[in-house]
Amino acid sequence: MISTLELDGLQELRAALIEERQILVASVRKLRETRRQKGTFVLGDGSEAGPRLVALQQQIEVVESVIATLMESQT
């Protein structure tokens, strides 16, 4: 049986990963907008964030999978 503390910790981890993903997206958006305003924007600006974004999404999916498995085992 899963402890409430463990489940709460996993939920917090999931929320932190989602928040990090949102911060990354906002940072790229701000970078691109700033460069557009300065006239220095080129296609691909912010693309270096792509691998980090993919990694975050994969981490979120793993945590969600663990949570779902643990919830299933409780029933």
Q: Alpha carbon 39 to chain centroid distance? A: 30
What is the pTM assigned to this prediction?
Answer: 0.83
d(CA 18, CA 15) in angstroms, rounded, equals 5
pLDDT digit string, tens, across residues 37-69: 999 988 888 899 999 999 999 999 999 999 999
String of DSSP letters for 17-59: HHHHHHHHHHHHHHHHHHHHHHT---TTTTGGGHHHHHHHHHH
The confidence band for 73, taking pLDDT boundaries of 50, 70 and 90, is: confident
pLDDT at 71: 86
pLDDT digit string, tens, across residues 9-24: 999 999 999 999 999 9
The confidence band for 1, taking pLDDT boundaries of 50, 70 and 90, is: low
